[in-house]
Chains A and B, each alone.
Chain A
Amino acid sequence: MTNTLPFLLLDERDNVLVVTRRIVLGDQLNIDGEIIEAMNDFPLAHKLARRPIRAGETVLKYGAPIGVATADIPRGAHVHVHNMKSGYTPTYTLDAEKGDEA
């Protein structure tokens, strides 16, 4: 299968897609037939919502639960530590200390 899209669907059950080529703000993304404008830059291997995900809904990747949405996430939006959390232990990030470099 040749994948010309800049993201990958790992499992049919997933509600997120994995970025395989850097996406830049404003790029036109074809998500399951709907054209959506990228709302921000996406580094390699980050996730975007394949469809709208409601707060409290389970996030699925590899066909397996990887956490729970903490906010409503529109289709095409970045799915990461700001809008989802672990069902086990909290995720530690260094964002606060990075300041202007972030």
Chain B
Amino acid sequence: MMQGYLRSDGRKGIRNIVAVGYLVECAHHVAREIAMPHREEDVHVIGFPGCYPNDYAQRMMDRLCTHPNVGAVLLVSLGCESFNKYGLERAVRATGRPVKTITIQATGGTRSSIAEGRAWVAEQRAALDEMQTVPMDESELVVGTVCGGSDGTSGITGNPAAGRAFDRLVAAGAACIFEETGELIGCEHIMASRAINPALGQELEASVAKAARYYATLGYGSFAAGNADGGLSTIEEKSMGAYAKSGSSPLSGMIKPGDVPPKGGLYLLDVVPDGEVRFGFPNINDNAEIAELIACGAHAVYFVTGRGSVVGSAVSPVIKICANPETYRRMADDMDVDAGRILDGRATLDQVGQEIYDLTLSLGQGKRTRSEDLCHQEFILTYKSFEPLGPSCLPH
């Protein structure tokens, strides 16, 4: 049985971290220095680098600071940035979590801010370590999935295996989220046919059409040079492989970054901004996508890689599923699951899917991922703009 940390909104966390959030890049160093002595003790740095305000970033920070895996929050402000630190601190306090804001300009600069921050974090860490857990059912889980450093193996081993694990979780009542509409270009019609009603199907198709327009304006697809080295020739081919991560459950809804799925089921996360093209590429790298999945409440994220990514994330554990057996031999220490076994007949898709599913539940029983052990706590948040969800996106 999994054990979770019960939060005031009824959600449960499988981790109990202290989040140290910088509210502008100018406060990043101080935040990092505050967290550094505790980097192996679940004190993670998150933050927003921009000095101009942005509703999306504010909402992302709000959702991350009140994520069920987070037990306490230290905000680090320079003092003159535009981020609404008062609103964020209020939102965190309203959940009953310990929260404190350090304003560097008021505290007297770098040294005194670091000292004050470290003292507070040490106190919170000790208090959180005493917190009792409660039993947690798998139906209470939210799990996300991304793929990155994809190659031609991703779509035939790791992604469909992650899809099998998703099928198991959805059947058990959990919420599962897949994403990157820009990497679903070419399979929008197939995907829409899995929606639980036609109106949702239209929303799903529209989200991919929006992504295609967005990327066409920028001149590049969501496709890196290494994808081609790995045998992928076009965005459509990459998409078909990426789409396999979603498994075969019916599609219950579409959400945007920061929306928590209202109940169990399979959800598409629309990550491409609404309106005219602004602020550049939708997600400038894999961690931007991982942060958005976590902001939607994901307790854990599956990361399927063929070329060999090493990243983890702040806030929630990342399970790295290596699709390519040659990559696994080179980088086994970074990988949680060797899905490339499927290619040479050492395992079936169902077996690897089961392994991923079992590993997911074990994260709620004290097991840690390779990237957690290696202190990978990547985090990035940039500018975006979204309209609210349409009425057809979350049927009944």
Contact = CB atoms under 8 A, between A and B. Distances in A.
Contact of A20 (B224, B241, B343): B343
B390 interface: no
Nearest to B185: A88
Given A44-B324, A62-B155, A91-B223, A19 B231 contact: yes
B46 interface: no
Interface string B190-222: 100000000000000000000010011001110
A18 interface: yes
B345 interface: yes
B344 A65 contact: no
18 contacts: A10-B156, A20-B344, A43-B231, A44-B325, A44-B343, A46-B152, A46-B231, A64-B187, A64-B190, A66-B233, A66-B237, A79-B233, A86-B221, A86-B235, A89-B215, A90-B221, A92-B223, A92-B228
Interface of A: 2-3, 8, 10, 18-21, 43-47, 59, 61-62, 64-67, 79-81, 84-94
B231 to A, nearest CB: 4
Which among A2, A45, A67, A89 has the highest number of chain B CB atoms within 10 Å? A45
A98 to B, nearest CB: 9
A86 B215 CA distance: 13
Contact of A45 (B216, B220, B230): B230
- The interface size bin for chain B is 35 or more
B79 interface: no
B234 A66 contact: yes
B233 A91 contact: yes
A33 B370 CA distance: 45
B306 interface: yes
Contacts of B236: 64-67, 86-88
B156 A45 contact: yes
Contacts of A44: 151-153, 231, 324-326, 343
A45 B240 contact: no
Interface string B333-346: 00000000001110
B190 A91 contact: no
A80 B187 CA distance: 20
Given A45-B230, A64-B190, A65-B186, A88 B235 contact: yes
Interface in B153-189: 153, 155-156, 185-187
Nearest to B323: A45
B225 interface: yes
Nearest to A80: B233
Interface string B235-259: 1110011000000000000000000
A91 B231 CA distance: 12
Given A45-B151, A45-B306, A64-B240, A81 B233 contact: yes
Nearest to B240: A62
A59 B343 CA distance: 23
Contact of A67 (B231, B237, B344): B237
The 10 nearest A-B residue pairs measured at CB: A45-B152, A89-B221, A86-B234, A66-B237, A94-B225, A46-B231, A67-B234, A45-B231, A45-B153, A66-B236
A89 B216 contact: yes
A51 B193 CA distance: 30
Contact of B156 (A8, A81, A91, A93): A8
A56 B224 CA distance: 25
B186 A18 contact: no
Nearest to A66: B237
A52 B149 CA distance: 31
A100 B17 CA distance: 48
A91 B152 contact: no
B190 to A, nearest CB: 7
A2 B241 CA distance: 22
A93 B224 CA distance: 7
A80 B231 contact: yes
Contacts of B223: 89, 91-92
Nearest to A45: B152
